Structure 1
Amino acid sequence: MSRQAFEKAHRYLNQKKSEMIAFSDYLAAHPELSEKEYESSRMMAEILSGAGFSVEYPYLGLPTAFKAVKRSPDGTEKMPIVAIMVEYDALPVIGHGCGHNLHGTMALYAGLAVGEAVGDISGEIRVIGTPAEETDGAKVQMADAGVFDDVDLAFMFHSYAGESFADYRALGIDGLEFSFAGQTSHIGAGRHDNADHGPALGLTWNLTPGSRTRLSIWRRPFKYSVAYGICRCILWGGEHPLRQMDEMVHPAVLHHLLRPGRFDSNCNYDQLPIV
């Protein structure tokens, strides 16, 4: 983005500051649950349409999703395409406890600001309304449908009470994968020889949450999944956004997490590379 285009986008955001605050406050005061964000999505689609975006709403068969596009008037077919994803659903009872009113507004107006500068740069900006983030996650369905296949850069905003930064690294996208190896035996004649990897996975699955209280805060696994067909367990990283996975997970911690399944089932485990 040229300096001129950047300054134009920046001026737009400064001019819209009060409007952004009011819009975020409105969303906070009128929370809508996943897949029921009718008013929130309608208002966003109307704001984008009024700013000269070409809007599809509803979008992709999702009643509260939308796609808004604005491109350089003299752009070529090979111009860069940037997509900004907008979240706006709330949680039951507590409303916008995850701050979707904030970073939904931030994403919406970031797209509008780039749209203001699109005449000074060659490119296409897409603002994609992604409902149901707290449940099914429309982003997954959209990705499966190829919505982002021709996009050069797709990103979202997330509100944070501290310093703003663009090089955010979330450990939730890193994983450690393990394969349990065992030995089957006849259940009647040779049960003592059995080393069943199935129970090893089950024990790891059931006991890992309890390990949270015995690990330091930066070493707590917060997500895990098991693919029983290939007997693997994936333990996702800790809760601090700035810690690298290799800095966070010490071998002793991994041993602690996997020990119940390994000992009780008489299985061994190997760490596998994440690709």
Structure 2
Amino acid sequence: MRKRCRAAVEGHRERLLALSHALHADPETAFEEHRAAARVAGVLTAEGFTVRRGVGGLDTALTATYGDGELVVGVCAEYDALPGLGHACGHNVIAAASVGAALALRDVAGDLGVTVKLIGTPAEETGGGKILLLERGVFDDVGFALLIHPSPDELCAPRTLAVTDLEVRYRGRAAHAAFAPHHGVNAADALTVAQVAIGLARQHLEDRQMVHGIVTDGGAVPNVIPDDTRALYYLRAGSYESLEGLERRVRDCLRAGAVATGCAEEVRQVSPAYADLVSDPWLAGAYRSAVTALGRSPVPFAEEAGRLTPASTDMGNVSRALPAIQPSIGVDCGSAVNHQPGFAEVCAGPSGDRAVLDGAVALAWTAASAALDSPARALLLAGVRERAAGRVGGP
């Protein structure tokens, strides 16, 4: 079975790498990934998959299915890019590897008794595409979900942070900054007070809690008291529960800006909250076996268990609802890390290409192991039935 999966990936080598490079050269941001979705859909349609576009009410989401086995393997594909940085998180690698895994599993789907379901999930960087698809039933029939993510490290069961975002807007009153400043209500001062309050609060935050943000609108010209300012903050925590407490504290800091200056304040959550990733132990072990057989050297289990990946993903919400893994596959990026231009460059180079091919094979091998292991298969199918009965759910 492993030989057949690997041969399938090798047989599609040029097509998969061409897909990865095409996505990399034409980056599209959250919910705007129209060309990326079309490219992924085009490859799978040509290979006999039944493709549905616009699933879950999202224009750039898709599903591509093959087979009629009872156990549904969910292979997630991300393809959104970062504003100004392109594919500096390597989502071109993710999409191409997932397509490769789907093609490999297609060739053995009958023998494994599975239905292969690639799920094109937009807006991972912001917007929570997987969360929306989860809420709208796209994952309802999925027995387990898989995705690999390029990274400086080789991790089989990374621990990530929960995250939410808050946009604050302050409204004041404009006035001439020199002639009549006493008539103004300074919305930029409200932002300053809020930033100071958050900065002072940092020394009291719990372990693994983080706050970082940017001013998105600080005023127009220096000689007019700003009457409308905005900022966007990301809040992270080690667990979904810890995140709730952090959000309350930051909202109080934002409110302080309005109270101190007399401005009106509006706070809104832009994207759904991302839960921390909870890797399924059995699937993570199967993946470890797969990548080790491919000649990769993942971080030892004991060391991995004590390591935190200070990033966040909407795959966390999927992992709270059904068995899932999102391993990190290593790329040779030197001192660069995700969300840096140097990392983007690597994801279209030889190391990124190797991650596409190895990632596709490793995901296919992991899925095949789960399908062929009778106890694991029975538990996965039971989980689908329990979710359908309403006894299991996400956060």
TM-score by length of 2: 0.44
What SS does the corresponding residue of 2:43 show, helix, strand or coil? helix
Alignment partners' CA distance in 2, 1:53 and 1:88: 19
Aligned-pair CA distance for 1:173: 5.6
Aligned-pair CA distance for 1:120: 2.1
Structure 1 segment 124-203 matched on structure 2, within 5 A? 124-163=115-154, 167-172=156-161
What SS does the corresponding residue of 1:149 show, helix, strand or coil? coil
Gaps of 5+ in 1: 175-201, 213-217, 249-274
Moved over 6 A (4+): 228-233
Amino acid at match of 2:198: N
Count matched residues: 202
Amino acid at match of 1:26: A
Gaps of 5+ in 2: 164-193, 212-235, 238-242, 252-274, 277-298, 311-394
2:97 equivalent to 1:106: yes
Pair 1:7–1:36, CA change in 2 (3 A): same
What SS does the corresponding residue of 2:150 show, helix, strand or coil? coil
Alignment partners' CA distance in 2, 1:64 and 1:99: 18
Alignment partners' CA distance in 2, 1:101 and 1:228: 33
Alignment partners' CA distance in 2, 1:134 and 1:123: 30
TM-score by length of 1: 0.62
Aligned-pair CA distance for 1:28: 0.9
Alignment partners' CA distance in 1, 2:12 and 2:201: 44
Which of 12, 19, 43 lines up with 1:23 in the alignment? 19
The answer as to whether partners of 1:52 and 1:70 remain within 8 angstroms in 2 is yes
Query: Could you say what the CA RMSD is over the residues aligned between the two structures, in angstroms?
Result: 3.8
Task: Map Cα deviations across residues 1-52 of structure 1 (whole Å, 9 max, x no partner).
Answer: xxx3x32111011122232222211111110111111111011111111111
Task: Map Cα deviations across residues 103-131 of structure 1 (whole Å, 9 max, x no partner).
Answer: 12111211121112212220111000001
What's the counterpart of residue 7 of structure 1? 3
What's the counterpart of residue 57 of structure 1? 53
Pair 1:209–1:38, CA change in 2 (3 A): farther
Amino acid at match of 1:206: I
RCO (CA 8 Å, sep 6+): is it higher in 1 or 2? 2
The answer as to whether partners of 1:171 and 1:245 remain within 8 angstroms in 2 is no
Amino acid at match of 1:242: E
Identity of aligned residues (%): 28
What's the counterpart of residue 256 of structure 1? none
